[in-house]
Amino acid sequence: MSDRYETPRWDDEPEELRSGDAVAANPSATDADASDLDASSENVLDGWPAADAKERDAEPEPHAVAAAVATTELKAPDLDALDDEQAAPSAPLVDHVSDTMEHAPGELTVPPGYSVLEGEAAGERRAVGVVVSRFNGDVTTQLLESALAELEACGVSRDAVTVMPVPGAFELPLAAMALAKTRRFACIVALGCVIRGDTPHFDYVSSEAASGLQLAAIETGVPVAFGLLTLDRADQAESRTGKGAEAVRTGLEMADLFANLRAAAAR
């Protein structure tokens, strides 16, 4: 593994754990290499992000709130109209549930006047570890292909990616933690698939895999992206294999966010 990639490092960790950057991974690296590595993130902030002064001082006009309340009228229901609707034959319901069952529409909007610190799914100069389950291999192979294609699209070179296959989803957390503890990866992407069967096995495996992956991230401080499919039926996997790419973007964004956070805190 090349040591030129940026990896997480926390200032409050023991010295022996700070081996993710180029200097710690390679004692022979020069000070110039270390300086170049610290400046490798393209969107590192020049300090804590400051909100625009005009936006920060802007407050909603009291009369605007009062006007909005005043224009809201409470009307009693029209009982005659309700009786007519109940007597009429009911129209078929529009099937819009399938479009909104899993996710709510819209984007996050931060109100003006607040400082915002965020990251981007940028992979240049970053190493990524991928742990993938061999169980339900037809599905996990597609997840892996989706993830690798997204890594390449985000600028992560092939020699910066390490793929670690494991027997099943239950082994994903242990493998993710092992990779994270090496301090050589900016983030870990965990891929797997669990399909519900006739026994409670599904519940135990999916629940422990999810909590274990979260624990790996919390204990190491390295982002671990969740790319585990939990399906009721095998045919549900076809429309969800893009979750591999989604997990990659999540991991890279969190890695970039942490890099920006460390850079801002150091100033």
Residue 127 has pLDDT above 90, yes or no: yes
Query: d(Cα 142, Cα 150) in Å, to the nearest integer?
Result: 12
Is residue 3 within 8 A of residue 40, CB to CB? The reply is no
**Residue 192: predicted pLDDT:** 97
From the candidates 63, 96, 103, 201, which is the catalytic residue? 201
Domain definitions of the chain by residue range? 53-267
Query: d(Cα 119, Cα 139) in Å, to the nearest integer?
Result: 30
- Give tens-digit pLDDT for 190-242: 999 999 988 899 999 999 999 999 999 999 999 999 999 999 999 999 999 99
- 53-267 sits in which CATH class? alpha beta
Sign of CA dihedral 140, 143, 147, 153: positive
- Give tens-digit pLDDT for 33-72: 444 444 444 444 455 566 555 555 555 555 554 554 454 4
Is pLDDT larger for residue 39 or for residue 155?
Answer: 155
Q: Residue 90: left (phi > 0), alpha (psi -120 to 50), or beta? A: beta
**Residue 122: predicted pLDDT:** 86
3-state SS, residue 51: coil
How far CA 199 is from CA of 40, 202, 204, in Å, comes to 50, 7, 10
Q: By percentage, how much of the chain surpasses pLDDT 70?
A: 62
Residue 21 has pLDDT above 50, yes or no: no
* Residue 96 a catalytic site member: no
**Residue 103: predicted pLDDT:** 75
Query: d(Cα 111, Cα 156) in Å, to the nearest integer?
Result: 33
Is residue 180 within 8 A of residue 157, CB to CB? The reply is no
Is residue 255 within 8 A of residue 180, CB to CB? The reply is no
